[in-house]
Amino acid sequence: MPENSSADTSNISSNPLFQQLVKISRQLDQALEDSRKKDDIIRSLTEKIDVLTEQVDAANTTIVSLTEQITLMAAQRYGKKSEKRSSGKKKDDDDGNDSDSTPSAGSASESDSSKKPNTHRPVKKKKTRKPKSTLKEMIERMGIDVEKVVRELDEDKRFCEYCGHELIPFGEKHLRYELKVELPRLRVIEYVGVTYGCPDCHAKAADSDTPLSECGLSPVQAEAPKPLLPGSWASSSFLAMAIAFKILYQIPTNLLITMFREMGMFSVSSGTLCSWIISVSQVYFAPLFDRLRQILLA
């Protein structure tokens, strides 16, 4: 029995099954080693992802805080409070009152000698506001040549909607003014619309002794081009110049109005000019800023 067992152990290395088992064992060891390496790589990548995530969160927080600071700084710099100027008039008045209230020796003696109190009270005058000038009067004070632009109807609209007869012009009507800036000169453009009427319908109404207002035949008139801001006489060139002076060169509104007055323009109020700039920023610039903010926060 011992001789047979020793013979079996000496020939086990040449056994094909044993060789296959050894090969499989080595493959398992290699697979385990590869698995450990992959686990280490996954662990390191996970740690890097966590670090990058923290950096992104910190960057987003910084962007939000900087955006709030920029908004606050802009509100403090270009808000209504920044346009107020402290005048030394009150201080001078106070100094004058103090100097007047200090009695001299002569005045003291005079006050003692005169015992009769002064009962006279000055009558306060009511402050009346000057009537607001019309736009035409302000343009006349500017002394700028007014360019007249006549607006006519398109050829396909020059037909009566009741009888189809061709309309003929019979008058003009003022539509609006527009101030244009073409440095170094200014231009005021007056849009005038041509009014059209139907001669056939007018003749029929005249024959039947019926007024045109009762017939419902209202004249047709050409329209003026739409302004940049509804109800405003300022053109895009004027607003672009005002925004450039105020935002890019950081000129206060009061000084900007003084500059416009020296250039020959009529002086608009600071509230009107600020409302124009705010309206332009809300209508045209706010969507762009929102898009840029979304891109930064993305």
User: Looking at the 3D structure of the chain, how many domains does it have?
Assistant: 2
Q: Are residues 139 and 211 in the same domain?
A: yes
Q: Are residues 216 and 158 in the same domain?
A: yes
The crossing angle, in degrees rounded to 10, of helices 16-78 and 286-297 is: 150
CB hemisphere CA count around 158 (13 angstroms): 12
Check residues 215 and 38 and name the one with the higher pLDDT. 38
Residue 239, domain member (yes or no): yes
| Averaged confidence pLDDT in the chain | 75
Residue 41, domain member (yes or no): no
Decide which of 176, 199, 225 is a domain's last residue: 225
| Statement: residue 100 has pLDDT above 50 | no
The pLDDT assigned to 87 comes to 52
Contact partners, residue 203, CB within 8 Å, separation at least 6: none
The pLDDT assigned to 122 comes to 67
Q: Are residues 139 and 221 in the same domain?
A: yes
Residue 159, domain member (yes or no): yes
Average pLDDT over residues 24-34: 88
Question: If you write DSSP's letter for every residue of 167-188 in order, what string do you get?
Answer: PEEEEEEEEEEEEEEETTEEEE
Residue 20, domain member (yes or no): no
Q: Are residues 208 and 247 in the same domain?
A: no
Q: Are residues 215 and 201 in the same domain?
A: yes
* DSSP three-state, residue 259: helix
The pLDDT assigned to 185 comes to 66
Q: Are residues 141 and 213 in the same domain?
A: yes
Average pLDDT over residues 60-64: 92
Q: Are residues 233 and 292 in the same domain?
A: yes
Residue 81, domain member (yes or no): no
User: What is the residue range of 177's domain?
Assistant: 134-225
Condensed to tens digits (0 to 9), the pLDDT of residues 234-256 reads 888 888 888 888 878 888 888 88
Residue 180, domain member (yes or no): yes
Q: Are residues 206 and 169 in the same domain?
A: yes
Residue 241, domain member (yes or no): yes
Residue 128, domain member (yes or no): no
Decide which of 189, 209, 225 is a domain's last residue: 225
Decide which of 207, 225, 243 is a domain's last residue: 225
Nearest to 265 by CA among 149, 150, 183, 174: 183
Q: Are residues 268 and 202 in the same domain?
A: no
| Statement: residue 289 has pLDDT above 80 | no
Q: Are residues 218 and 269 in the same domain?
A: no
Condensed to tens digits (0 to 9), the pLDDT of residues 144-198 reads 778 888 888 888 888 888 788 888 888 888 888 887 777 656 778 888 888 888 7
The crossing angle, in degrees rounded to 10, of helices 270-280 and 236-243 is: 100
Q: Are residues 152 and 199 in the same domain?
A: yes
State pTM to two decimals: 0.39
Check residues 6 and 211 and name the one with the higher pLDDT. 211
Q: Are residues 161 and 204 in the same domain?
A: yes
The pLDDT assigned to 216 comes to 54
| pLDDT above 70: percentage of residues in the chain | 73
